[in-house]
Structure 1
């Protein structure tokens, strides 16, 4: 079968022929119908050798949708032919956090050698993939897999980040979204669906700001050196109750801290290969402004997102690529020229 793999440190991803996998005990084999491409992949592929821990060759893709085609011995809870998306942050399944569905924060996964697909385990950028357990599958019914697969990360991560701050998003509040690409454009829609907050979106190009407006942002601001002042001007001198940074570079983190109001939440979601950090302490931030870094979301939150998708909440902007064009999609991801989420369809 064909797969997209990262094979050498510092090299570009390659489309290769590998053996079709067979599901082991308790596992499920999917015929992949759609796989998302994420900035996290680019981050991983730009790590130096001494920091790279994901194994080679690595079949990429931690956003996966597919059709169940085979069950391994003892696998139960899902039927052959079911259309599903894959919950990516696999955990041990039995610790106190996994028991709550919070496998994204499993404290034992690393020591047990459990890794997410595409980030240690073979991922979804292949014609077939093995999922370690039926509990990591969420049926999607008649939803379009291309439009639904980004919800597994690009939707789940901002959904988790926003849910924890909903108590601060009351009438008259504001939320700032920095970076309106794959995650950011979904964050805007989640904010509009779940809260009355005024949503202000920041990005560096007119195209990205136009996308933010199209999916529901109340205001858009160019993300430059004057962004913080311009946001506060829109808010009458005040700051925002929630700031979501989907870039994670030092300039955007600085902007996020500068627009945060008293008792606000600053959530840094994006990650770059250049070290960046928020400056926290007296006279460096608004009083009682909390800064956090989330990782993905829970299994129950992914189920909730799929339910919202069935209600027609999301307008997921995607660009579709054939398997052969996946390396070019990664090039465009690195260049910042994608609109929304890049999705590879193996059948093309």
Structure 2
């Protein structure tokens, strides 16, 4: 079968031929119907060889949608032919955080398809357990695949600060791309907050407005001052940073108000520096990693009701290398999805 793999350090992904996998006891074989690309893939491919934690080569793709093709011995709870998406946080299932449903925070170490085991950029993939499958019914798999990360990640980040997002509040979204444009939709659907999106380039600013942002500003040195003006000098109530670089961390602090919250979601190898005299008083800063399976179930129901819609650009698996090149170059609006 065809697969898109990271095959050697310092190289780009390649379309290769590999053997079709078979499910072991308790596992499930999926015929992949759609697989979303993510900047986390770029992060993995930028890691140095020394200390690299994953197998090589490795099939990429941690946003899978598929059809149940075959059940391993003892696998129950789904049937051949079921349409599903895959919850990507594969924890041990027995530690304290897994017992609480937070496999994304597994204390013994989490792996994911495409981030530790072979993923969904292929015609077939093996899922380790039925508990990581979420039925989608008649949802379009191209739209549904990226619910697993592009929607789940901002959804959890927003739920962390939801009590703050009351009438009269302002939320700044830094980065209106694959995750950010879904965050804007979720904020509009779940809260009365005013949403201000920050990004670079008129096309991305227009895209943010199309997805519900009340304001869309160029992410530059003047953005924080503009936000202070919009809020009568108070600053943002919440800042969601979907980039995670040092420069966006500085911008987040500059936009924030007294008693505000910053949530860092992006894996841009940077962060937020705060101190008593270098940030608004009583500010809180936290990170947010992926989300819980229960939250993915909630998002599926929202998608079925038309409350969120992920903007996608599709590629065939033969064009998978181009898809990754387009993402790397910033040519993707929303989410890129490979359709085998």
Equivalent in the alignment of 2:223: 227
1:185 aligns to 2:181 (yes or no): yes
Q: CA deviation at 1:279?
A: 1.2
Q: CA deviation at 1:100?
A: 2.0
Q: Answer with 83-92 or 246-255: which moved more.
A: 246-255
Equivalent in the alignment of 2:274: 280
* C-alpha distance in structure 2 between counterparts of 1:35 and 1:166, whole Å: 30
Q: CA deviation at 1:11?
A: 0.5
Q: Following superposition of structure 1 onto structure 2, how do residues 106-125 of structure 1 map, counting pairs within 5 Å?
A: 106-109=106-109, 115-125=111-121
1:292 aligns to 2:280 (yes or no): no
Equivalent in the alignment of 1:198: 194
1:316 aligns to 2:310 (yes or no): yes
Q: Answer with 200-209 or 235-244: which moved more.
A: 235-244
Please give the per-residue CA displacement for 1:187-212, whole angstroms capped at 9, x wherever unaligned: 00000111100000000011111111
Equivalent in the alignment of 2:323: 329
Runs (4+) of structure 1 exceeding 3 A deviation are none
* C-alpha distance in structure 1 between counterparts of 2:201 and 2:101, whole Å: 38
- The 3-state SS of whatever aligns with 1:165 is helix
Equivalent in the alignment of 1:131: 127
TM-score by length of 2: 0.98
Q: CA deviation at 1:231?
A: 1.5
Q: 2:146 aligns with which of 125, 147, 150?
A: 150
* C-alpha distance in structure 2 between counterparts of 1:145 and 1:342, whole Å: 13
* C-alpha distance in structure 2 between counterparts of 1:170 and 1:222, whole Å: 25
Q: CA deviation at 1:277?
A: 2.5
Q: CA deviation at 1:345?
A: 0.1
Equivalent in the alignment of 1:210: 206
Give ranges in structure 1 of 5+ residues lacking alignment: none
Q: CA deviation at 1:56?
A: 0.2
Q: CA deviation at 1:314?
A: 1.2
CA contact under 8 A between 1:221 and 1:231: conserved in structure 2? Answer: no
Equivalent in the alignment of 2:15: 15
* C-alpha distance in structure 2 between counterparts of 1:167 and 1:121, whole Å: 37
Equivalent in the alignment of 1:61: 61
- The 3-state SS of whatever aligns with 1:344 is strand
Q: CA deviation at 1:234?
A: 1.6
Equivalent in the alignment of 1:87: 87
- The 3-state SS of whatever aligns with 1:325 is helix
- The 3-state SS of whatever aligns with 1:224 is coil
Equivalent in the alignment of 1:103: 103
Q: CA deviation at 1:55?
A: 1.4
* C-alpha distance in structure 1 between counterparts of 2:22 and 2:270, whole Å: 42
Please give the per-residue CA displacement for 1:195-239, whole angstroms capped at 9, x wherever unaligned: 100000000011111111001001111001211111112212111
Q: What RMSD over aligned residues (CA atoms) do the two structures have, in Å?
A: 0.9
Q: CA deviation at 1:240?
A: 1.2
Equivalent in the alignment of 1:172: 168
- The 3-state SS of whatever aligns with 1:220 is strand
Q: Answer with 246-255 or 118-127: which moved more.
A: 246-255
TM-score by length of 1: 0.96
* C-alpha distance in structure 1 between counterparts of 2:51 and 2:223, whole Å: 34
* C-alpha distance in structure 1 between counterparts of 2:158 and 2:80, whole Å: 35
- The 3-state SS of whatever aligns with 1:228 is helix
Equivalent in the alignment of 1:252: 248
Q: CA deviation at 1:308?
A: 0.5
Equivalent in the alignment of 1:3: 3
Q: Answer with 189-198 or 228-237: which moved more.
A: 228-237
CA contact under 8 A between 2:234 and 2:258: conserved in structure 1? Answer: no
Q: CA deviation at 1:26?
A: 0.4
* C-alpha distance in structure 1 between counterparts of 2:73 and 2:134, whole Å: 20
